Amino acid sequence: MNDYNFNNTFANILNGNIKCDKIFENESILAFNDINPKAEVHVLIIPKKPYIDYSQFCSEASVEEVGFFFRCIDEIAFKVGLEHGYKLIINNKQLGGQEIFHFHVHILGNLKKLY
The answer to whether residue 91 forms part of the interface with ligand AMP (CB under 6 A) is: yes
Rounded CA gap, 39 and 26, in Å? 25
The answer to whether residue 43 forms part of the interface with ligand AMP (CB under 6 A) is: no
Q: Please, what is the minimum distance in Å from the beta carbon of residue 44 to ligand AMP?
A: 6
Q: Could you tell me how many residues make up the chain?
A: 115
Rounded CA gap, 60 and 18, in Å? 27
Applying CB under 6 A, the span of 23-31, 55-63, 72-80, 98-106 interacting with ligand AMP comes to: 98-106
Catalytic residue check, 42: no
The answer to whether residue 15 forms part of the interface with ligand AMP (CB under 6 A) is: no
Give me the residues paired with residue 78 across strands: none
Measured from the CB atom, the residue of 19 and 62 that comes closer to ligand AMP is 19
Rg of the chain on CA atoms, in Å: 14
The answer to whether residue 97 forms part of the interface with ligand AMP (CB under 6 A) is: yes
Rounded CA gap, 95 and 104, in Å? 16
Residues forming the active site: 104
